[in-house]
Amino acid sequence: MFGLEKKQRQLFEFDLEKELKENTTKKQALTGEVENTIQEIKSLLRSGTDTADFDQYGVLLHGYTALLKVLQRISQKK
């Protein structure tokens, strides 16, 4: 009544989630690529770089880690 009734909310899904739910081979390939890229960035950070490069690699690392979390979230929902 008066807009206070309980409504079922739809869970938010990324476009990538919708696309990769049907295509498991593409998801596995993308997961492998992301993990390899994360390892490359980590090795670059360990080797020591300039301060500006260090900050940019850190931002990239956070972005790829977030993408990996989204990919793992897709596999958990099945």
Give the tens place of pLDDT for each residue, 39-72.
999 998 888 767 778 888 889 999 999 999 988 8
pTM of the model: 0.72
For the CA atoms of the chain, what is the radius of gyration?
Answer: 18
3-state secondary structure of 42: helix
Q: Amino acid identity, residue 59?
A: V
Q: Check if the beta carbon of residue 38 is closer than 8 Å to that of residue 69.
A: no
- At 18 the pLDDT is 81
Cβ–Cβ < 8 Å for 73, 16: no
Q: Where are the chain's structural domains? A: 25-77
